[in-house]
Homo-oligomer: A and B are copies of this chain.
Amino acid sequence: MWRYLKRLLIGKPLKTTDEGGQALTKFKALALLSSDALSSVAYGTEQITTVLITLSAAALMYQLWVAALVLVLLFAITLSYQQIIHAYPSGGGAYVVATTNWGQPAGLVAGGSLLVDYMLTVAVSVTSGTDAIISAIPAISAHQVGISIILVLLIMGLNLRGMRESASMLTLPVYFFILMIFVMIGWGIFEIVTGHVAYHASAAVGAPVQGMTLVLFFRAFSSGSSSLTGVEAISNAVPNFRKPKSHNASATLAIMASILAFFFGGITFLSYYLGIKPMADNTVLSQIGQAVFGHGLIYYLLQLATAAILAVAANTGFSAFPILAYNLAKDKFLPHAYLDRGDRLGYSNGIISLAVGAIFLIIIFHGKTSLLIPLYAVGVFVPFTLSQSGMIRHWFRVREGKWGLKACINFLGAFISLSLVICLFLLHFGNVWPYLIVMPALIYMFYRIHRHYMNVARQLRISENSDTVNHHYDGATVIVLVSDVTQVTAHAIDYARSVGDYVIAMHVSFDENPRKEHKTAQKFKVEFPDVRFVDIHSSYRSIITPTLRFCDVIAKRAAERNFTTTVLVPQFVPRRPWQNVLHNQTALRLRSALNTRQNIIVSTYSYHLKR
């Protein structure tokens, strides 16, 4: 039943060779790799205004200055990442760059941050998508957490099916969103220029705002920096581009950064000009849309486009997380289970872990985007800092071309990223502190897992001069556990004689019914006169302890004769699984108890009942 259900939901298994490489054109790459970054504009401006409104409506004026600083940051980071693209044409994820240039520990910090970060990408994109849906349909605002969880499960399901067939389908929402935002900004500015939309800004640019502090400004800035999440995606995916790979990737990054800059700038300007204040059930982007388009069809299309690109952005987490988990597992820092592919070639365990993590985050943060943002930003900018600063080392090591200039650019990127991380910890500590608990725990786990795998590998390796290998035994002792003389016992004894040179039958008897016990021994001797029958008496109605004790003695004697010791546990298998509850599970308990012995091999004789 489970198999059919799985087949229905996931689709039929694919062969490994079914996997085909397809090189990405710039057009397709832009769609596939930029959704995370571009969708950030759905919540970036909102995060800035949410901080500023805590002071006053007039303070909203400062969103323009904060946005300007974010755009500078975007420019610096774009330049930095273009350098990474050229330096690491085989894909320069933060884990790789940090490991190569700063060593394993820094790489693990970057890797751990990114694992958490991808969970946050999914959580933030989905909750923000839910915000967009709720803005359009306020009636369902009470079900925010539920809707978000269902969305995560849906995207997980699609990924378990495998995304290959639908990859080109994903370009649609991205270009739809790009189109809608272009139209919105263009139409909005046209309306402003033609005077159809009134000037509602709560304060003029440059007007003094009472109570404005540098702390508040940087709080707003660090929240707004969440608009830059996802910029690194292209640098990780260089090998997937058409040739010349690095050139194409770099150009795509430039195009994406330009669009992002235009969108972020335009939206923030409109937000300022229209005097929009953040509201609980109506996102800033939705309010701008309503102001520009009115409450008609085009507005609903905008919300649909926003929700759709956020879903695609969440999906990028589902592409990236399993690959990172795969790389960490290959380096033996995560369980091997992340190396296994599912029926549809996706790394199912990674996909499921990510969904579980994202749902967990959504639940503990009550599905509130603004509470998730600071943690998300930390998770993004810590690896940024590590990879950018790693690049400085890279240039100092390589020393070719204009390496001094390039190092300066990366220094700028690293500096801004580091400043942001410090800002976030100082100004948003209340939301960011879990990072300080989760990261050390993750790093500790990585090392524990690594040490275990190393230990196991060392113990399993066959060394040249080991005397244990190719040991030749002179024979095999087989102990058959007998509870009663039945068909099962008879077949098991026949089998035992085929594998063993010396067969012993062992029976545990209790006080309760001495006559019956005697009968078992007699019956056995009639059936198998040539097999030694040992009756062990137990006063405590426990089968396990006397059996273990007896088997240990026999195993010791067998070892003295250079024999192996096998314990054969006969059991019958009822035709229907529910019938197992009608039979005692002694065989199971005996097997697990005997499995603790190094020198005893446990074998099960299964007799299948026909009715």
Please give the residue numbers on chain A whose beta carbons come within 8 Å of chain B beta carbons, in ascending order.
13-17, 335-337, 340-341, 343, 449, 452-453, 455-456, 459-462, 466, 468-476, 478, 484-488, 490-491, 494-495, 497-500, 510-512, 527-528, 539-542, 563-564, 566, 572-574, 579, 581-584, 595-596, 598, 601-611
Query: Given known contacts A455-B611, A582-B449, A608-B598, is B499 in contact with A487 (CB within 8 Å)?
Result: no
How far apart are the CA atoms of A341 and B462 in the complex, in Å? 48
Contact at B595–A602, with CB atoms within 8 Å? no
Contact at B527–A459, with CB atoms within 8 Å? no
Known: A460-B488, A602-B604. 14 other contacts (CB 8 A): A16-B511, A340-B541, A449-B582, A459-B610, A460-B484, A462-B485, A462-B486, A462-B527, A469-B487, A473-B497, A476-B498, A476-B499, A499-B499, A595-B604
Jot down 20 A-B pairs with beta carbons below 8 A, ordered by A: A14-B540, A16-B541, A17-B539, A343-B540, A452-B574, A456-B572, A459-B609, A459-B611, A461-B487, A462-B527, A468-B487, A469-B527, A470-B494, A472-B494, A472-B497, A473-B497, A499-B564, A598-B607, A598-B608, A601-B603
How far apart are the CA atoms of A595 and B572 in the complex, in Å? 11
How far apart are the CA atoms of A13 and B449 in the complex, in Å? 40
Contact at A604–B606, with CB atoms within 8 Å? no
Q: How many copies does the complex hold?
A: 2
How far apart are the CA atoms of A497 and B584 in the complex, in Å? 34
Measured CB to CB, the closest approach of chain B to A47, in angstroms, equals: 38
Contact at B512–A491, with CB atoms within 8 Å? no
With a CB–CB cut-off of 8 A, which chain B residues contact A485? 462
- The residue that A490 contacts in the complex, of B469, B475, B498, with Cβ under 8 A, is B469
With a CB–CB cut-off of 8 A, which chain B residues contact A487? 459-462, 466, 468-469
How far apart are the CA atoms of A473 and B500 in the complex, in Å? 11
Q: Which residue of chain B is the closest to A17 with respect to CB atoms?
A: B511
Measured CB to CB, the closest approach of chain B to A45, in angstroms, equals: 44
With a CB–CB cut-off of 8 A, which chain B residues contact A500? 499
How far apart are the CA atoms of A168 and B278 in the complex, in Å? 76
- The residue that A456 contacts in the complex, of B336, B456, B604, B609, with Cβ under 8 A, is B609
With a CB–CB cut-off of 8 A, which chain B residues contact A563? 498
How far apart are the CA atoms of A17 and B528 in the complex, in Å? 32
- The residue that A564 contacts in the complex, of B469, B498, B598, B609, with Cβ under 8 A, is B498
Q: Which residue of chain B is the closest to A608 with respect to CB atoms?
A: B598
How far apart are the CA atoms of A164 and B487 in the complex, in Å? 40
With a CB–CB cut-off of 8 A, which chain B residues contact A603? 566, 601-604
Measured CB to CB, the closest approach of chain B to A481, in angstroms, equals: 14
With a CB–CB cut-off of 8 A, which chain B residues contact A478? 499
Contact at A582–B468, with CB atoms within 8 Å? no
With a CB–CB cut-off of 8 A, which chain B residues contact A542? 13
- The residue that A468 contacts in the complex, of B13, B460, B491, B596, with Cβ under 8 A, is B491
How far apart are the CA atoms of A367 and B473 in the complex, in Å? 67
How far apart are the CA atoms of A512 and B528 in the complex, in Å? 52
Q: Which residue of chain B is the closest to A335 with respect to CB atoms?
A: B582
Measured CB to CB, the closest approach of chain B to A270, in angstroms, equals: 51
Measured CB to CB, the closest approach of chain B to A532, in angstroms, equals: 16
How far apart are the CA atoms of A418 and B468 in the complex, in Å? 78
How far apart are the CA atoms of A337 and B242 in the complex, in Å? 67
Contact at A452–B579, with CB atoms within 8 Å? yes
With a CB–CB cut-off of 8 A, which chain B residues contact A470? 490, 494, 527-528
Contact at B475–A498, with CB atoms within 8 Å? yes
Measured CB to CB, the closest approach of chain B to A352, in angstroms, equals: 14
How far apart are the CA atoms of A488 and B340 in the complex, in Å? 22
Contact at B494–A471, with CB atoms within 8 Å? yes
With a CB–CB cut-off of 8 A, which chain B residues contact A469? 487, 490, 494, 527
With a CB–CB cut-off of 8 A, which chain B residues contact A573? 595
How far apart are the CA atoms of A610 and B456 in the complex, in Å? 9
Q: Which residue of chain B is the closest to A510 with respect to CB atoms?
A: B16
Query: Given known contacts A595-B606, A605-B601, is B499 in contact with A486 (CB within 8 Å)?
Result: no
How far apart are the CA atoms of A277 and B62 in the complex, in Å? 77
With a CB–CB cut-off of 8 A, which chain B residues contact A340? 541, 584
How far apart are the CA atoms of A605 and B495 in the complex, in Å? 18
Measured CB to CB, the closest approach of chain B to A440, in angstroms, equals: 19
Contact at B606–A601, with CB atoms within 8 Å? yes
With a CB–CB cut-off of 8 A, which chain B residues contact A609? 455-456, 459
Measured CB to CB, the closest approach of chain B to A194, in angstroms, equals: 62
Q: Which residue of chain B is the closest to A540 with respect to CB atoms?
A: B13
Query: Given known contacts A336-B583, A604-B603, is B511 in contact with A495 (CB within 8 Å)?
Result: no
How far apart are the CA atoms of A542 and B563 in the complex, in Å? 36
Measured CB to CB, the closest approach of chain B to A449, in angstroms, equals: 6
With a CB–CB cut-off of 8 A, which chain B residues contact A468? 487, 490-491
How far apart are the CA atoms of A600 and B210 in the complex, in Å? 85
Q: Which residue of chain B is the closest to A609 with respect to CB atoms?
A: B459
How far apart are the CA atoms of A511 and B19 in the complex, in Å? 11
Measured CB to CB, the closest approach of chain B to A453, in angstroms, equals: 7
With a CB–CB cut-off of 8 A, which chain B residues contact A466? 487
Measured CB to CB, the closest approach of chain B to A591, in angstroms, equals: 8
Contact at B15–A456, with CB atoms within 8 Å? no
With a CB–CB cut-off of 8 A, which chain B residues contact A452? 574, 579, 582
With a CB–CB cut-off of 8 A, which chain B residues contact A579? 452
With a CB–CB cut-off of 8 A, which chain B residues contact A499? 476, 478, 499-500, 564, 566
